[in-house]
Chain A
Amino acid sequence: MTATGPTTVLLLRLAGPLQAWGDRSAFNRRETRPEPTKSGIVGLLAAAAGRPRHAAIDDLAGLGLGIRVDQAGSLLRDYHTVSDYRGRPLLAAAVNAKGTQRLTGPAKYTHITQRFYLQDAVFLAAIEGPAHFITTLENAVRHPAFPLALGRRSCVPAQPLVLGQRTGPLEEVLRAEPWHVTDAVRKRWGRRNGNAAHVDLPLTLDDPAGDDTREDLPLSFAPTSRAYTSRRVRHTYAAAPTGLTPHPDQPPSTGGHDPFALLGW
């Protein structure tokens, strides 16, 4: 965001069996956004750089972020019940004078919790910043100090995670990048869409003049004083190259019936 010196873009491919990008979940219901959050990406970079939870992260949060949805994935609801195997009431959040947790007031024996995950999703995250800082971050992600996760500790990233550095504006980089999906998905999409050479993918870009806000810009990850603020984003679409060649005999038609085709024009 700070426009001093040349900037480069680090491209990350966020893919894995499960991802979870919560931004305002609390208590027993843990939701996920359909796209990666900035706090999730900043947390991943901070973990790679080996920063402890209370370290300052304003340099990471100040980087520009763009997300491209290559494969939207589907939502998985994970239903849990939690209880004490000895049959005792569960502990309450409140503590007594000695600092130990009390038992729940009207005794409660089972917690019902729900966690939501995105399954089979692929996102492209572009992180823009000063060249030397981006190089440091890329090295950190290639040799992470702490294990990396896609939003929640149990969501392990698939390889390759780092696609390398690109030069140029964030939006141009995301438009030029080929479509990162598996061959089976590409072939199935091609069958349904006449093997079109381009596919429209949604983009979410950091933009101070954007018309939408996200409540996921982290100020601090310190366990005792977590804080977030909002950021402005802009949505658009990018026509990404699919790598397919349209069939010459079968143009990507208007869906079958065109009564104007016989009217001489």
Chain B
Amino acid sequence: MPYLSRIRINPLRTASRTLLASPRALHAQVQGGVPTLPNESRTLWRLDADNPHRPELFVLTAGKPDWTHLVEQAGWPGADGEHYAVRDYAPLLGQLAQGREFAFRLTANPVQNTNRPDKPTERQQERLDGGTRRSFRLGHRTAASQLGWFLTRTARWGFDVPAASHLDGTRDDQDEPPRDVRISTRRRHSFGKPTRASKEDRVIMHMVTFEGKLRVTDPSLLTQRLLAGIGPSKAYGCGLLTLAPVPAKA
């Protein structure tokens, strides 16, 4: 039974600074809140910094988690209010029906695979010369290609993104109406693995946050994506798709 948690993070504490700076450290803390063995189920998480002074951590776990350790290290242990909220995710999954519309937010790592890179690096060239058939995973680095990555895959994930009603009359260069989706943050992360110092062993990822409106086309596919995540780098805070009510127009 899946659970969605929301944990408030105090960015002024020493431990939180480490966690906010390093997806690796935050991954370890998130896994520490799940009593089942980490390889038995996929845990998805995302850091929402709408208000950078009050960041919030969302975690989707297969079983019921406990976040006392995060509150003690990186929250406000003595403060008023709810330190973390854990809710059953099943009511949401029950609401998925074909044609229903939701507001969504997704932080993902858009990548493409190719075995013919335009400008191979030294290391890629070595592998090409060695005759390896396996392709390379390359990050999408421009906003246009990142948005393209998202929009070409939505049908596979069980939803589509309707045209933006508030942008009536505008057309893009293919004479298509713009879709109701935008990129709110883009960030390149680069961090080393603790045991290896060599430059090739660094993790480099482009984290992109998509926000907008979606219309459900296939509830079963969407359920699968909601629970299993979207795209790579799921350990580092990518892939958690969350749904919310469509905001009423003012």
Contacts and interface: CB of A to CB of B under 8 A. Distances in A.
A256 B87 contact: no
Interface string A223-265: 0000000000000000000000001011001111111111111
Given A249-B248, A249-B250, A265 B87 contact: yes
Interface string B232-250: 0000000000111101101
A262 B51 contact: no
B58 interface: yes
B250 A263 contact: no
A256 B104 CA distance: 10
A263 B4 contact: yes
B105 A263 contact: no
A262 B105 contact: no
Contacts of A256: 50, 103, 211, 247
B81 interface: no
Interface string B90-123: 0110010000001101000000000000000000
A258 B51 CA distance: 13
B247 A262 contact: no
Contacts of A260: 4, 6, 85, 87
Contacts of A258: 244
A265 B88 CA distance: 11
Nearest to A259: B242
A256 B51 CA distance: 11
A250 B91 CA distance: 26
B180 interface: no
Contact of A257 (B4, B85, B89, B105): B105
A256 B50 CA distance: 9
Nearest to A253: B247
A254 B50 CA distance: 9
B218 interface: no
A55 B102 CA distance: 72
Nearest to A194: B250
A263 B92 CA distance: 6
Q: Is the interface of B mostly helix, strand, loop or mixed?
A: strand
Contact-residue bracket for chain B: 20 to 34
Nearest to A265: B87
B50 A262 contact: no
B66 interface: no
B58 to A, nearest CB: 6
Given A254-B50, A257-B242, A262 B91 contact: yes
B51 A255 contact: yes
Contact of A261 (B50, B51, B244): B244
B87 A257 contact: no
User: Which of B211, B242, B248 neighbours the largest number of chain A CB atoms within 10 Å of its CB?
Assistant: B242
A261 B85 contact: no
B172 to A, nearest CB: 24
A255 B91 CA distance: 23
A258 B105 CA distance: 9
Contacts of B85: 260
A192 B247 CA distance: 17
A259 B243 contact: yes
Nearest to B46: A259
A257 B250 contact: no
A250 B248 CA distance: 8
Nearest to A247: B250
User: Which of A260, A262, A264 neighbours the largest number of chain B CB atoms within 10 Å of its CB?
Assistant: A262
Given A254-B50, A256-B50, A257-B48, A262 B245 contact: yes
Contacts of B211: 256-257
Interface in B190-238: 211
A259 B247 contact: no
A202 to B, nearest CB: 14
Nearest to A257: B105
Nearest to B250: A250
B242 A264 contact: no
B153 to A, nearest CB: 21
Contact of A263 (B51, B89, B103, B247): B89
25 contacts: A247-B250, A249-B248, A254-B50, A255-B50, A255-B51, A256-B50, A256-B103, A256-B211, A257-B50, A257-B103, A257-B211, A257-B244, A259-B4, A259-B58, A259-B242, A260-B85, A260-B87, A261-B244, A262-B91, A262-B92, A262-B245, A263-B88, A263-B89, A263-B92, A264-B87
Given A250-B250, A256-B247, A257-B48, 17 more contacts: A247-B250, A249-B248, A254-B50, A255-B51, A257-B105, A259-B244, A260-B4, A261-B244, A261-B245, A262-B91, A262-B92, A262-B243, A262-B245, A263-B4, A263-B87, A263-B89, A263-B91
Interface of A: 247, 249-250, 253-265
